[in-house]
Structure 1
Amino acid sequence: MAKFDNLLLEKKDGVAVITLNRPSKKNAMSPALHRDMVAALELLRDDKNARVVVITGAGGVFCAGMDLKEFFLELKDKPSEYEAVWKMATEWRGRTLRYYPKPVIAMVNGFCFGGAFSIVEGCDLAFAAEEATFGLSEINFKLFPGGCVSKSLANLLRPRDALYYGMSGETFDGVEAARIGFINKAFPKDKLVEQTMAVARNLASKDPNAMRATKEGYRYSLEMTWDAAMNYAMAKELELVQRQNDAFRKEGIQDFLKGKYKPGLEAHPG
């Protein structure tokens, strides 16, 4: 198992859990943490033992956003390095997670501030503790939700919610995060891991090629016209046939017709 200075990585039952591991800094994202995340995601990309990725934080905290000192102050007079780190930080949260070939789940177990919003939004699914604290605190120190955060808000939230929390700097809990659609569901903190991992294991049990096609079909169709999306769907179906040797017909449909299972109620046993 690979070792990282700022992350913990473990795999079990087809699920890889990446834990942001800077608890003394509330798991704030330093340049080194960004490098570790890029490396970890690349490592897991083709790992057949990791069908689903879960991202969470150590020490009862998800992520306090960017490390303000290491990013904004220490790189202030290093424009080339600042730009390189900025691009890396926005790329993995804004594009890598969104177009990752596997499902990615955010498990928000505590504080989630600023730049951490883009981790949550970039993931396909997100669950949080009811007691978790979310906040866009940038306005409180005379900044705005920069980098990919404003785009994340525009992608996921209604204008009234995005602007209210962005302009007021007020915090909200996991229950509110679910109400406004920022996460899927909120659970009591002592149930969060159990419930999130149950979802992750369920996804890991599905055909990985069909799972990838499901994710890509949705993500890319958002950017397409109707005609382009229909052509893409046809091409994606043919690609799936090649990737899984036509298993959706030979096994999925045929086994249903033979009465072996009910796809509306359960997954294919194979």
Structure 2
Amino acid sequence: MPGVSEADPGPAVLVERDAEDPAVAVLTLNRPARYNALTLELKTALVEAVRELGAATGVRALVLTGAGKAFCVGQDLGEHAAALRADAGSSFDTVTEHYNPVVLGLVDLPFPVVAAINGPCVGAGLGFALACDLRVAAAGLKFSTAFTGIGLTADSGLSASLAHAVGTARATELLLLNEPFTAEQARDWGLVREVVAPAEVLPTALALARRLATGPTKAYAEVKRAVRFGAVHELPDVLAAEAAAQARLSTTKDHAGAVEDFLAKRRPGFTGE
């Protein structure tokens, strides 16, 4: 729970390559005794890890998950209370210093990101999950926006990402009433792709990431940009952006090779180039 004093051993985040496919990276929030509550240590390490992944070579898909029984329960309220007592005016600097860079970093990664939501996913943890491109969730787990429960509004992009995922009416309801919702509800609303048994969350997410890692990585990056752009711009601007993206992709080896494979009735093989 947030605020407990028990320390977790090892790095605050773990970054590993998948043994089956090294093109898949796994980023794990590694403070299970605190349910991966966002302490300064964890937030700082997460910002750096996402930045390094963005510059990494050979990575074509990422899985984001949490160690132990939770994905992420949001801000560590013990640390937040101490920051409020010390200087309330600067206590929310963490939003611009940590939350925003993590969200933007995940969204801007040049390859797909799959969230393996293995347990409770709350507040900024939900924001991080929605910054991923696809989500797999454990059956029966609880999500919560949490913010109004402590007198706050949304951060970590939730005011936009949640509305885009479930619609403005439901997003407003979830943020105002702060009522927990289940993985099964999230699936029915289109917020998560698949709900599986808890033990199957990471294997299912890895299988999805491995599939994506064999695909046209540059096209996937353009899709990520196009969807974000299209959600907030007028149609003429969207059409122009799509045309520019297609022009960029026209020179890729993946596109040229896939066209030849189609004409030859072969299954395309993508290299990410």
Q: What is the TM-score with the length of structure 1 in the denominator?
A: 0.86
Residues 158 and 38 of structure 1, relative CA distance in 2, 3 Å threshold: same
Q: Aligned residue for 2:38?
A: 29
* Pairwise CA distance, 1:155: 2.9
Distance 2:207 2:86 in 1: 47
What pairs with 1:64-83 in structure 2 (closer than 5 Å)?
64-78=73-87, 82-83=91-92
Distance 1:143 1:18 in 2: 28
Is 35-44 or 128-137 further displaced after alignment?
Answer: 128-137
* Pairwise CA distance, 1:85: 1.7
**Residue type of the alignment partner of 1:226:** L
Is 35-44 or 85-94 further displaced after alignment?
Answer: 85-94
1:253 is aligned to 2:259: yes
**Residue type of the alignment partner of 1:179:** D
Indicate which of 48, 62, 66 corresponds to 1:57.
66
**Residue type of the alignment partner of 1:9:** V
Residues 203-248 of structure 1: CA deviation (Å, up to 9, x unaligned): 0011221221222222222233222222222221222234x24x41
Unaligned regions of 5+ residues in structure 2, if any? 1-9
Distance 1:69 1:75 in 2: 10
Distance 1:269 1:57 in 2: 30
Distance 1:229 1:159 in 2: 21
Indicate which of 110, 116, 128 corresponds to 2:125.
116
**Residue type of the alignment partner of 1:158:** G
* Pairwise CA distance, 1:53: 1.2
Distance 1:140 1:122 in 2: 22
Kept in 1, the 8 Å contact 2:128–2:156? The answer is no
**Residue type of the alignment partner of 1:258:** A
Distance 1:149 1:84 in 2: 18
Q: Aligned residue for 2:244?
A: 235
1:165 is aligned to 2:174: yes
Kept in 2, the 8 Å contact 1:31–1:71? The answer is no
Distance 2:233 2:154 in 1: 27
Q: Aligned residue for 1:134?
A: 143
Q: Secondary structure at the match of 1:211?
A: helix
Kept in 2, the 8 Å contact 1:99–1:219? The answer is no
What pairs with 1:173-188 in structure 2 (closer than 5 Å)?
173-188=182-197
Distance 1:83 1:61 in 2: 24
Distance 1:116 1:21 in 2: 13
Kept in 1, the 8 Å contact 2:24–2:63? The answer is yes
**Residue type of the alignment partner of 2:221:** R
Indicate which of 222, 247, 258 corresponds to 1:213.
222
Unaligned regions of 5+ residues in structure 1, if any? 262-266
Q: What is the TM-score with the length of structure 2 in the denominator?
A: 0.85
Q: How many residues align?
A: 259
